[in-house]
Amino acid sequence: MRWRAAWLRRLVPRTLYGRLACLVAVAVVISHFLAIKLMFEMGPHLFGPPPGPGPRPPPGGLDLLTHWNLWLDVAFRLSALLLVTWVGVRWLAQPVQGLADAARGLGQDVRSPPLVESGTVECREAIRVFNQMQARICRQLDERDNFVAAVSHDLRTPLTRLALRVEALPDGQHRAQFGRDIAEMNNMITITLDYMRNVAAVEPFVLLDVESMLASLADDYAATGADVVLQDCPAGQGCAPLHTQPQALRRCVANLVDNAVRYGGRALLACYTLDGVVCLEVADDGAGVSESELQKIVQPFYRSEGSRNRHSGGVGLGLSIASDIAQRLKGRLTLSNRPEGGLLATLLFPLPGLSTASPSRPRR
């Protein structure tokens, strides 16, 4: 049985031109077969009465029966051609659709298994090139991770020596100042290298209770003395569970909270589900951001005018990392100024199969 199937597969054309030619030939044979069958079944009335003696139709053209028979013949031919075309399109487009789906999912999982080479010769060549491209990307990511690990080791080694030497300083005030500077440098190195390594990409997706995660995050910040408050969900708009990466989402929200606390003094957290979209909000009471900078501050290493000092400014990666994580989790980050003052950062995650449009913010 297997050798028969293999023999039949050898008969199938391997090129795109061969398959199209085969489909056209099948369509022509089927349509002509149906037309001949129609001619035999309808008999001599198909094209009118035969020539010779006998009654003839009145002048003025073909009769109504002959007219409908001709249209029926055309309909049979056209139906056969459309049917074969539909089957052919699905047959030819299936490998291409699989390649498109794989390319679409490459951003979510670059280490997914390679595609099976199938379809026409052209499709097989495209799939082969796609698999080679994916393998090269994986090799480059491995080389990047090794490079970042080496850089991390080289940068942290002198910081560790500095931290040990600072502990031996007799002046407690200077010791505390040096300690804060070293901690800040260590934090900048960690944020920058984590951004370069894209460390959240390998975490599995699970069903997460978002409200519980925000409550835990607010408690952790409150334990450090930060003013972070989780507001109640609006009535009838409770936060639905979200299929996501928990640690990545927590890090995304934490970056927004750090930004709100640093520039606004406190962070107000909220979550709700509206119009099929799970919304997470982080608001602050700061001065806000000018409209011209709302889109710029999510760019890597960009810092607004009000954050370019060593006491409040970071390295300009917090919002960029949050935006990248949101996109990787199939959502997006939007920024706007609050009417009452301050910046509002909103994470939007559409539920599966529902609209991705931005919902209207509920009244509180």
Tens digit of each residue's pLDDT (9 = 90 or more) over 159-171: 888 888 888 888 7
Cα–Cα dist 17/224, whole Å: 69
Side chain identity, residue 256: L
Half-sphere exposure of 272 (CA within 13 A, CB side): 19
Q: Which among 346, 212, 206 is positioned nearest to 279, based on CA atoms?
A: 346
Average pLDDT of the chain to the nearest whole number: 76
**Residue 355: left (phi > 0), alpha (psi -120 to 50), or beta?**
beta
pLDDT in tens, 21-65: 777 777 777 776 766 666 666 555 544 555 555 555 555 444 444
pTM higher than 0.85 for the full model? no
Q: Largest Cα–Cα distance of the chain, in whole Å?
A: 132
Higher pLDDT, 185 or 35: 185
Residues 6+ apart with CB under 8 A from 95: 118, 119, 120, 123, 124, 127
pLDDT in tens, 252-284: 898 899 889 988 888 999 999 988 899 999 999
Residue 343 near residue 258, CB atoms below 8 Å: no
Q: How far is 104 from 330, CA to CA, in rounded Å?
A: 12
Domain ranges of the chain: 2-49+63-105, 201-350
Residue 182's pLDDT is 80
Residue 277 pLDDT: 92
Looking at per-residue pLDDT, the higher value among 187 and 327 belongs to 327
Q: What is the pLDDT of residues 302-334, one digit of tens each?
A: 666 544 444 455 556 678 888 888 988 889 999
Rg of the chain's alpha carbons, rounded to an integer? 34
Phi and psi dihedrals of 234, rounded to 5?
Answer: -60, 150
**Distance between CA 338 and CA 264 in Å, rounded?**
12
pLDDT (0 to 100) of residue 154: 77
Residue 333's closest CA among 234, 212, 249? 249
How far apart, in Å, are the Cα atoms of 359 and each of 9, 224, 310, 335, 355? 52, 34, 37, 14, 9
Burial 57-87 (b: 16+ CB within 10 A, else e): eeeeeeeeebeebeeebeebbeebbeebeee
What does CATH list as the number for 201-350?
A: 3.30.565.10
The residue that leads in pLDDT, 99 or 334, is 334
pLDDT at residue 2 tops 50: yes
